[in-house]
Structure 1
Amino acid sequence: MSEILNTAIIQPDLKWEDSDANRDLLGKEINKLSDEVDLIILPEMFTTGFSMNAKILAEQTEGDTLNWMREKADLKNAAVTGSVIIGEDDNYYNRLYFVYPDGSYKLYDKRHTFTLAKEDQTYTAGKKRLIVEFKGWKIMPLVCYDLRFPVWARNTDDYDLLIYVANWPRKRVDAWDALLKARAIENMSYCIGVNRTGEDGDGYVYNGHSAVYDCLGKPLTELNREEEFVKEVSLEKDSLHETRKKLKFLQDRDKFSLEL
């Protein structure tokens, strides 16, 4: 168990539908990280960009990218997370992997597929939330469009950290900024959002704004950065729990159940 969780967020300019190039690009950045890092966070569809070309790009459940994540987790003795296009049982998934240092993993299939881009016509939506236990921390990882749906993220499990990996375009980045902060505040949780930069093959432009917020919505990173960057940020569990104990906001939350 660790009271400090050292995270690393990587905001890249992804190469369109080029898995080898993206793994090479991200691998070089991971190799530079300090030995203190516990958790490395990559964007949504970090090997391809936000592509609907799943029939050609999809990997098997335990394919090249998962093996690459395992190699990097072993190399840095850290967990690695991000989402990848996966084909399984005649379906395609926007699948987030949370890979532990020992090579074991948990997975989460994006629940809210982005209908505006017709993601729902290509990818099968997930049906289960995921709470990861790692170094004494409870972590809930989600994917991009999930950010717009607060009920799915509601902190009914007393998790400590909420993560969103994304390909969130510049034209709607104000919503990204506002909702990341809101999710931190309403859930009394650290909240990390990791986005990409650059332009994809469909002409959409991304301007990053990856960020880390504490449970009161205070930013722990420089906000609104649009260029490629890597940032290591330490999270403190004692501070989180002391704030929760003092303010007691989560004790007043509404009870509800989800219908899927």
Structure 2
Amino acid sequence: MGDVVAMPETTGAGPRRGGPANLKAMAAQEIRRRVFSGQLRPGAKIDQDALADELGISKLPVREALITLDHEGVVEHIARRGAYVARMTREDIRDHYRVFGLVSGLAAERAARNLSPESLQALTDLADRMAAETDPAEQERLNFEFHRRINHASGSRRLVSILGLLAKTVSHGFYEAHEDWPGKASEDHRRILNALAARSAARAKSLVEKHFADGGERAVALLEQQGFWDR
């Protein structure tokens, strides 16, 4: 999940350069990366002009990205002073993962009823490949695909849309920063798979919720390690 924190399970490829929307997304992604890697600390002022120069883009997409990040709670705008990194607490991070887990749990609950035998086999194959993989970046990619398939199997465009928004606002780095996370994730994925195969909607929901709650604890530990809350 890189040195920034999208879900223990939901980061995707970065935006491509191109139109205004992509430039805004690129700027937002870079600001998140700097915040959650500890490069920009809570309370630090964000130099919009310098950031635009570093990214090789105009100031407009940077300003638009900061508005988006203000809505996410990552950035705080102070009148006549500028944009600052918001002072998020450990509970803010944990709560975000819990919310992510609740929505993901709903998707898994639906998926338990909808998944075809072929889709279950595809998930099993992904879990097998993830367990055998040693490259963190590839583990991240397979992990993303595993959860993406479950989310889409819910058959709910609304849940998938909400999960896409939530995924953009959390930190990643689990597979690189926590040596024991791949093993933990693999065990969780097997339990989730077993629940899905048994068509146990309630158990699939509960397991996914716990999986993401545990991810929240790992995210807090990772941010502490990176000095996120150090003065």
TM-score normalised per structure 1:
0.28
Bigger Rg over Cα: 2
Q: Which has the higher helix share?
A: 2
Q: Which has the higher contact order (CA 8 A, sep 6+)?
A: 2
TM-score by length of 2: 0.30
Larger % of strand: which?
A: 1
